[in-house]
Amino acid sequence: MKELELIVFGVWAVLVIGSICFFFGSKNAKLKQRVLPWFIAGVGTLFTFVVLFFSGQPDILLIVVPAVILIGYLNIRMTKFCESCGATVINQAWFTKFRYCSHCAAEFCATASGQPDNAAIDGENNHCMR
């Protein structure tokens, strides 16, 4: 059992280091926007299976699955990627929307789905017109 725990710990360590390098190191905002929901879903699913495996009690899924879904939703909702500088910006205030990049002060132009609102972007200098 100790060997399996070490393997799980190693996989988590690789996921953490890899995600930090990708999401905070890459400047490709569009790629990060596409990858984030899939990454969150994959990690959430993996976490759920690890909890189920180590607990051995299927009833725990009644608590774990809603918690993983809520945490995943909040992570996606509170993370934006700046189109101007490529920075990953995480909103720490749960109940307020953030409109500006904390790295370059560019204004975010996005719809509720997180996709860029092309109608609100000025074509010449790629800035938000709101």
Same domain (yes/no): 52, 88? no
| Residues 45 and 98 grouped into a single domain | no
Same domain, 104 and 41: no
Residue spans of alpha helices (H) in 1-130: 2-25, 29-55, 61-77
Between 127 and 28, whose confidence is greater?
Answer: 28
Looking at the fold, whether 26 and 60 belong to one and the same domain comes out as yes
- Regarding whether 93 and 55 lie in a shared domain, the answer is no
pLDDT in tens, 40-78: 999 999 999 999 999 989 999 999 999 999 999 999 988
- Residue 86: give the domain boundaries: 82-130
Q: Are residues 71 and 53 in the same domain?
A: yes
The reported pTM is 0.76
72, 97: one domain: no
Shared domain for 63 and 122, answered yes or no, is: no
Cα gap 87→28, rounded to integer Å: 9
Q: How far is CA 67 from CA 43, 44, 47, 115, 130, in A?
A: 13, 10, 11, 25, 36
* 8 and 68 part of one domain: yes
* Number of independent structural domains in the chain: 2
